[in-house]
Chain A
Amino acid sequence: DTVMTQTPLSLSVTPGQPASISCKSSQSLLYSDGKTHLSWYLQKPGQSPQLLIYEVSKRFSGVPDRFSGSGSGTDFTLKISRVEAEDVGVYYCMQTTQPPHTFGGGTKVEIK
């Protein structure tokens, strides 16, 4: 199975400052269709998860452009250019390249 490792475990950010979360997979997430099926989710307190980024860098509908994704192969990053109060919650990366699909352990983001 593909293991997804996220760092850091938690992040405390001043509003308006950038934030970055790393996600590493135990094997390449490049699929035979030429796409890399790495996605990012945010679970706000008390809510269901919501999709932010898919295929490494594509923003889902309605996601603010302060969120961006990058990476390839086994190393990926989610960046928030200027953190806002509404961005608090737990961020998860996930791979859907190889079944069984797997999530990272999560990164909790809070506001200073």
Chain B
Amino acid sequence: QVQLVESGGGVVQPGRSLRLSCIGSGFTFSGFGMHWARQAPGKGLEWVAVISHDGAIKYYADSVRGRFTVSRENSWNTVYLQMNSLTFEDTATYYCAKDLPALANWGQGTLVIVSS
């Protein structure tokens, strides 16, 4: 069955960078777009970014555009989220999700805490 496993979260100072990874299994990874979404503690879901199956098309939320970059390596069944210039408002659990239909399958999430 579809499995998505995120990693790379942790505690980071404001202004620093972090790269999240998400490994997919149980499906043809190169055939599907992949999303990142996040959830601040006690808050609702916020969509962050999406990358097409071949990496050619990428879209971002206004709140992260210019700071975050989504990429993928299909030979490793992995999608990445490079997060630069982190702020306190980026503190959240970050989820990756497989596309089609909609956000069909989600990982367990990885927690990012931005703290000085």
Binding site for B on A (CB under 8 A): 1, 37, 39, 41, 43, 48-51, 54-55, 58, 60, 90, 92, 94, 96, 99-106
Q: Which residue of B lies closest to A47 (CB)?
A: B108
Task: Name the distance in Å between A91's Cβ and chain B's nearest Cβ.
Answer: 11
Q: Please tell me if the beta carbons of A37 and B106 are within 8 angstroms of each other in the complex.
A: no
Which 7 residue pairs across A and B have the least CB separation, nearest first? A39-B102, A99-B59, A54-B101, A54-B102, A48-B106, A106-B44, A101-B47
Q: Please tell me if the beta carbons of B108 and A48 are within 8 angstroms of each other in the complex.
A: yes
Residues in B with CB closer than 8 Å to A39 are: 101-103
B59's partner among A48, A60, A100 (CB-CB below 8 A) is A100
B107 contacts the other chain (Cβ, under 8 Å)?
yes
State the main secondary structure of chain B at its contact with A.
strand
Binding site for A on B (CB under 8 A): 35, 37, 44-47, 50, 59-62, 95, 101-109
Complex alpha-carbon distance, A48 and B111, angstroms: 12
Residues in B with CB closer than 8 Å to A105 are: 44
Residues in A with CB closer than 8 Å to B105 are: 51
Complex alpha-carbon distance, A29 and B109, angstroms: 28
Residues in A with CB closer than 8 Å to B35 are: 101
Residues in B with CB closer than 8 Å to A101 are: 35, 47, 50, 59
Residues in A with CB closer than 8 Å to B104 are: 51, 54, 60
A-B pairs with beta carbons under 8 Å apart, 26 shown = A48-B95, A48-B106, A48-B108, A48-B109, A49-B37, A49-B106, A51-B101, A51-B102, A51-B105, A54-B102, A55-B101, A60-B101, A60-B102, A60-B104, A94-B45, A94-B47, A94-B102, A99-B59, A100-B61, A101-B35, A101-B47, A103-B37, A103-B44, A103-B46, A103-B47, A106-B44
